[in-house]
Amino acid sequence: MKLFLLALFTLNIFAQESYIVKKELHNVYFKNDGHAEAINRAKLSAQTSGIVTYLGFDAGDTFKKGDTLLKISSISQFSDMEESKLALENAILDRDEKKRKYIRVKKLDEKNLAKDEDMTAAKTAYDVAEKTILLKKEILSKLQEVYSYTVVKAPFDGIVETRFVKLAEKIDINNELFDIYNSHKMRIIVSIPESMIQKIKKHQMVTVEINEQSYTIDYKNITIFPTSYNYAYTIRVNIPKEISAPFYDGNFVNVKFKIGEENAIYLSEHYIHQEYETSVVYLKKNDHTYRQFVRLGNRFDNKIKILSGVQNGDTIVSHAN
């Protein structure tokens, strides 16, 4: 019984698979490598000076829009802002006093009881006081803006790619703080020869391959614009959020653009054998099997294009007898 099972197993191993060669209609693609980049990306820099008192996130951490990424000591900024508020309050008091004086002189002038020079002086003093308030308000607004820079908040949902500062580090204006990007809004940048553009526009079929997975992209997510060198075009392929997980800023992917169709012969890999530096298949005719050299082309759906060596109607077997 064991011998019978072994013999049956051996027959199954060496059983020949056969395939009758036929041309089939296949898509023709232009392929090129592209690189992924975040649509929402930002380099955050310090807009005020001070000491880092709080770090909310490190490299690789994810955050939500509005989260506090970093805080800078605000003692000097707060002091300047409070001093400016006091100066504005004093300017308002001064303006109110000059306004009362101007109104009083104006009433006297209406009764011809005030001198012209007194009227002019009161009006000028009141106008200057009003302009002083506007100036003080502008100064306070700028100081409030500087004070707001002591708390750095996330402008969008994203990931910290790089953190440039440490806790308790003294920083100055324009010091780099973070590189951040949104991983759910990605696009692929790929260059295309000018000669391919019309074919790509005609067929409107784009596939992105990453980690041995293929994703067909709706053509509405494609943007084409010319570049200034080498008669090339740059294509931006926006990646829909629902398939964005495998894509990371800076990684390389393969992009395929359909540019036509052809009738061609494609064989599964297990029918093709390498002998030394040549590729062969085994043809079967009249119960005889013999070796046939073939020239190979591109791959398509786990099959390899046969450029020459076999033709329609040939019978191919998986191995020689």
Amino acid code (one letter) for 2 = K
Cα separation, 279 vs 297, in Å, equals 11
Cα dist from 58 to 52, 54, 64, 69, 293, whole Å: 14, 11, 14, 9, 58
What's the predicted TM-score (pTM) here? 0.61
Mean pLDDT value of segment 259-263: 91
* pLDDT number for residue 15: 63
100-154: pLDDT as tens digits? 999 999 888 888 888 889 889 999 999 999 999 999 999 999 888 888 899 999 9
Decide if 239 contacts 217 (C-beta within 8 A): yes
Mean pLDDT value of segment 222-234: 80
Q: What is the DSSP string of 9-21?
A: HHHHHTPPPEEE-
* Residue 104 Cα to chain centre, angstroms: 66
- Is the pLDDT at 268 greater than 80? The verdict is yes
Q: Which of 320, 220, 224 is nearest to 18 (CA)?
A: 320
5-42: pLDDT as tens digits? 443 344 444 567 888 899 888 888 999 999 999 999 99
* pLDDT number for residue 154: 95
* DSSP-based three-state secondary structure for 149: coil
Q: What is the DSSP string of 166-201?
A: -TT-EE-TT-EEEEEE-TTSEEEEEEEEGGGHHHHH
Terminal Cα distance for the chain, rounded: 26
Please name the helix (run of DSSP H) or strand (run of DSSP E) that holds residue 237, with its range, or none. Answer: strand 232-239
